A and B are shown apart, each in its own frame.
Chain A
């Protein structure tokens, strides 16, 4: 029997392969000499991701070329997802710098930490470029599995292990539901290739007619599974515990990249494969979005722990992003829905990782993570307080900052799609969120400091925070090119 061999189009795979190479190098150095790894791991991870970021320019994304059959798609959507994942990865490594350098956590293997983080970035890039359901699932799992382990990294502490266990169990459960849904889709359409599924569905689904119940079941299962992954209410139970329990840099990372992977999966599955069912899922996502943003923002008010508060605020932001997806109309060139979500994720990476970064910065100096701990920060460390204030205001959606533009584009997409009620909900919820975001700012500026203060130098963390603060301030004003890139999505997904 002759062997049938396949060779992939290597040039399309350069960015993920660079990330993979960095992982292998990290682990190899660690295996040879732990001391060398301690010195080189951090720069290596940064350089590797920067190289991957640069190498994004070597691929011609406009053609939508595929390789490995149609399993891997190098299209605009993949580009934007890879971009966001890599940028968040770099920022997370910068935020982790102090955590791992100062040796505050005994037993932390720096090389393994970074390798797992890069695995997660790699998985997210794969989800962005997935051409069929299996590759999508594997990418999603890879981005999640690495984070399960990272969450438990401070294994001396029960909160860390508890958060990881909840995250892991619910994540595994969600995966099972997701796979079940995928199996239904495969059974009904006879294909796992996203574009083929859309093609088959287009021939059998007539708009306006009630849906085949089996198809509806498949859609529901997929929505539930993916809902867990992006922490939409009512599938959010793991979020606050995992965010609070995990080491702060991991919380920073966890709040962004797995979410990017989740939303990329939602876009690939719902927008690309199940596009003929858009009437059904857009309505579903709209309702989910409303519940999610209301729940997240209202419950966040009651939190006194900053990490937990940011966890609930992350749920609220998931709601805004879901609203952006619910604005889907026809997938033609003028449709802003997915583009606005991609831009939102991009903006979210800077402000949320930044906010967690400031908390990590405080913890380095011996403070805790509650509201009382940031009291009077402006007197002690004016720059840190300013940075935190910028992130808080941006998360709230203050006009010239990056967060405002993100919300603005989502609202614009909603208005164009005629979903005014969701647009109004976003505005109202932003006003509600002002309560807990501004409370942090008032604590920092109008309270007396307490607790012990331990001055230490954390240059890399400081650099990362500065970068993110500047980006949050300035990127909003020059957001044109990124938005342009994100708005190319209809070419990729339809």
Chain B
């Protein structure tokens, strides 16, 4: 029985991984098209209808390029670092619930890979390990610009990870659990305030936490306007300056997968995940995630990059105190709710 569950879980994970990789490829297409539209351009439209074959062409091009290792590089670390980034990125999706269990061929197939009772912390832990891909890549390149990019990026990710984690504490307090399943279950309840009937989504009870999470998530995935590690103008692209060919694309793939995972997480944590009007289901989660992905692209088209000191100042002097304030307020409300005040 144990083996059976393991196999089912493995199968679900396999499907999920492939769906993610496909999505990631088309995320690049989506981004370029939307960006082009926002900038009054056309975007890729030559390869296939609406440029739909563009990601495949890009992939082939990158595969065919030469894989260069600089003479000055720390060879082994240089070769492994992008793989580390890439391998860690999709792991976060393993704990996101995509719906109720399916029943096929007499087997119960849960629509999530692993139900961990510290799921959200697990995602945060993955984020904190993910830094190594960047920092080791930058270090191993044997190039000053790469090193600087890596240092910047590490400082940024560590700082915003703190905000990310703290912004979620309010959700933990309300849900009383670290498990995404429990958090989802809490959100599927209905909130009745006088004549209004609202879903118990945490975006309503934790708006501040949601805003903080969104900002921190953008920074955590190193996207505009927080894309300092790859500031072309200052650092000649930052930590992956020396990478070429497919190793270079691993970093890109990791970035896009991270974006998708974070969007799924945001959808599950704050806006009810698979919960929605008419019929619950994975389509609601997909729709919400798609909105967040669009938001990412929208930000990139709209906002200029932060300066480094502004970036750190924002994290430590604005976001962190706000996150702490949110925790304090939520704690007080919770105590009041159970009549302890």
Contact = CB atoms under 8 A, between A and B. Distances in A.
Contacts of B176: 1
A5 interface: yes
B340 interface: yes
B338 interface: yes
A1 B338 CA distance: 12
A5 B340 CA distance: 8
Interface string B304-341: 00000000000000000000000000000001001010
A3 interface: yes
A1 B340 CA distance: 15
Interface string A1-39: 101010000000000000000000000000000000000
Contacts of A5: 335, 340
Contacts, number: 5
Nearest first, the 4 A-B pairs at minimum CB distance are A5-B340, A3-B338, A1-B176, A3-B340
Nearest to B176: A1
A5 B338 CA distance: 11
Interface in B286-301: none
Chief secondary structure at chain B's binding surface = loop
A1 B182 CA distance: 13
5 contacts: A1-B176, A3-B338, A3-B340, A5-B335, A5-B340
Contacts of A3: 338, 340
Interface residues of A, number: 3
B196 to A, nearest CB: 28
Contacts of B338: 3
Interface in B134-181: 176
A139 B335 CA distance: 29
Nearest to A2: B338
B172 to A, nearest CB: 13
Nearest to A3: B338
Contacts of B335: 5
A260 B23 CA distance: 65
Interface in A449-491: none
Nearest to A1: B176
A37 B340 CA distance: 38
Contacts of A1: 176
A489 to B, nearest CB: 38
A290 to B, nearest CB: 51
A1 B173 CA distance: 12
A5 B176 CA distance: 15
A238 to B, nearest CB: 32
Interface in B163-210: 176
A1 to B, nearest CB: 7
A10 to B, nearest CB: 16
Interface string B26-49: 000000000000000000000000
A32 to B, nearest CB: 15
A429 to B, nearest CB: 53
A492 B176 CA distance: 41
A8 to B, nearest CB: 14
A3 B340 CA distance: 10
Nearest to B338: A3
A6 to B, nearest CB: 11
A5 B337 CA distance: 14
A308 to B, nearest CB: 41
A368 to B, nearest CB: 42
A5 B336 CA distance: 13
B284 to A, nearest CB: 29
A218 to B, nearest CB: 34
Nearest to B340: A5
A3 B338 CA distance: 9
A229 B298 CA distance: 58
A330 to B, nearest CB: 46
A5 B341 CA distance: 11
A111 to B, nearest CB: 19
B340 to A, nearest CB: 6
Interface string B218-246: 00000000000000000000000000000
B24 to A, nearest CB: 39
A3 B176 CA distance: 10
Contacts of B340: 3, 5
B316 to A, nearest CB: 14
A410 to B, nearest CB: 49
B70 to A, nearest CB: 37
A5 B339 CA distance: 11
A47 B340 CA distance: 35
Interface string A216-255: 0000000000000000000000000000000000000000
A1 B176 CA distance: 8
A58 B176 CA distance: 40
A186 B140 CA distance: 44
A492 B117 CA distance: 44
A369 B190 CA distance: 75
A1 B179 CA distance: 15
A31 to B, nearest CB: 12
A152 to B, nearest CB: 23
Nearest to B334: A3
B338 to A, nearest CB: 6
A250 B321 CA distance: 33
A1 B335 CA distance: 14
A28 to B, nearest CB: 14
Nearest to A5: B340
A307 B335 CA distance: 54
A428 B338 CA distance: 68
Interface in A292-319: none
A476 B340 CA distance: 52
A3 to B, nearest CB: 6
A71 B335 CA distance: 24
A5 B335 CA distance: 10
